[in-house]
Chains A and B, each alone.
Chain A
Amino acid sequence: ETGVTQSPTHLIKTRGQQVTLRCSSQSGHNTVSWYQQALGQGPQFIFQYYREEENGRGNFPPRFSGLQFPNYSSELNVNALELDDSALYLCASNVGTSGYNEQFFGPGTRLTVL
């Protein structure tokens, strides 16, 4: 069974650019969530996708957007990058929408905005 994978591992962008981060969910999982983890802080929920539809969003501006594909993999897109977007971006997958279900996290993508 393959776990959650993310690509790329590291990424360096400049302010104002756009970035796309990718996540492959664990086999059989139809729900994907994205989190932003700034250095020294806990993860912050960005949004969740369930069966290709956004199914919950945190306090992030519209320049953070996402997609989920029929195979349940997902993308996180961030437009007009700002310095404060520098963080570790975590993807997590699980089955269904029950909040008690275990989420499985990927290793993350480290984004640096210069």
Chain B
Amino acid sequence: AQTVTQSQPEMSVQEAETVTLSCTYDTSESDYYLFWYKQPPSRQMILVIRQEAYKQQNATENRFSVNFQKAAKSFSLKISDSQLGDAAMYFCAYRRTNTGGFKTIFGAGTRLFVKA
């Protein structure tokens, strides 16, 4: 069975600094999707960034980028120029490509605090 592990329950970063959130996963599949989701205190979860496993190039979305290491089964999220609005729970998630549906495996999350 696939698992997703986020080993940092909490992280803290100074405004305008850079922070990296860690994620490892376990799977026997060769093709899959990986995601980072943000859940602000208001609870509505939003997609931050996604990566297709067959693509070697790391995904980037503005201040957010990932370091995808397929052999190591690692998928970390880097947030550059941190802003107060980045404070939230961040979830790493895994999804198979050939699953019957959107069965997504989420990690336990990392709470990010941003200090002014």
Contacts and interface: CB of A to CB of B under 8 A. Distances in A.
A113 B22 CA distance: 34
Interface residues of B, number: 26
Interface string B20-49: 000000000000010000000011111100
Interface stretch (B63-71, B72-80, B94-102): B94-102
A41 B109 contact: yes
Interface stretch (A11-19, A79-87, A95-103): A95-103
A90 B100 contact: no
Given A50-B101, A56-B102, A102-B47, A107 B91 contact: no
A103 B102 contact: yes
Interface string A101-114: 01101111000000
Nearest to A105: B45
A106 B43 CA distance: 9
Question: Which of A48, A90, A99 has the most CB atoms of chain B within a 10 A radius of its CB?
Answer: A99
Given A44-B106, A56-B101, A107-B42, 9 more contacts: A33-B101, A43-B106, A47-B101, A55-B100, A56-B99, A90-B45, A92-B45, A100-B97, A102-B50
